[in-house]
A and B are shown apart, each in its own frame.
Chain A
């Protein structure tokens, strides 16, 4: 997906279920605004989409479900330029 280089581009998530994995990305709907924690072990991972910086590529949009079928590690961290 081509990105417009605007300043305000919020991350999207949780994304609603995509009926059939062959459905085009554009058909993905934003799930109802949910503050509840959905991530549980043994359950399907909540999907999301966010802007990313990728070394050697630049800026692109990354969707978790793009990696479906592979082992994935998602690492959250408090911030760039912090100490730990």
Chain B
């Protein structure tokens, strides 16, 4: 898919290193391959709407950014529930498909399923092409 991943928390880069060495490398062979950024002070999180000033941390939020540097999708959760990598990958593939083809992708679309070509010919006829 050709995607760059950046992970950010308010931990220092020193803590990132130790977490990688002590724990992540035992979950993932070789550790996680992407940069782990330090948002000490929460300035970046504040701009992205994920900084919790009371707790002093960035809550879970993920943003898909396209090659034109435009944010395509965002998902923000309170801390007790983790994310779904499958849904993230589905959204990236859908946005890549839309960008490459001009087609649009209906609800629940998975790679390989029917797509829609927006235009006058489709108005009122989505039912012919797509049935949930």
A binding-site residues for B, Cβ under 8 Å: 9-14, 34-46, 48, 50-55, 59-60, 62, 64-65, 67-82, 84
Instruction: Give B contacts to A, CB under 8 Å.
Output: 1-20, 23, 30-41, 43-50, 55, 57-67, 69-74, 79-83, 88, 92, 96
Given A55-B31, A76-B50, is A70 in contact with B74 using a C-beta cutoff of 8 Å?
no
Known: A40-B71, A46-B48, A80-B19. A73 touches B4 (CB 8 A): yes
Number of A-B contacts (CB under 8 A): 188
Contact between chains at A37 and B36 (CB < 8 Å): no
Smallest beta-carbon distance B24→chain A, Å = 9
- Neighbouring B residues of A38 by C-beta, 8 Å: 47-48
Interface of B is mostly: mixed
Contacts of A76 in B (CB 8 A): 8-9, 39, 45, 48, 50, 58-62
A35 CB to closest chain B CB (Å) equals: 6
A contact residues around B46 at 8 Å (CB): 35, 37
Residues of A within 8 A of B30 (CB): 55
Chain B residues whose CB sits within 8 angstroms of the CB of A81 once the complex forms? 15, 19, 23
Across the interface, which residues of B come within 8 angstroms of A34, CB to CB? 47
Residues A72 and B6 in contact, CB atoms below 8 Å apart: yes
Chain A residues lying within 8 Å of B69, measured Cβ to Cβ, are 44-45, 65, 68
Residues B15 and A59 in contact, CB atoms below 8 Å apart:
no
Q: Are A74 and B8 in contact (CB under 8 A)?
A: yes
How close is B32's CB to chain A, nearest CB, in angstroms?
7
Complex: chain B residue closest to A21, CB-CB: B69
The listed residue (A40, A54, A79) touching B57 by CB distance below 8 A is A79
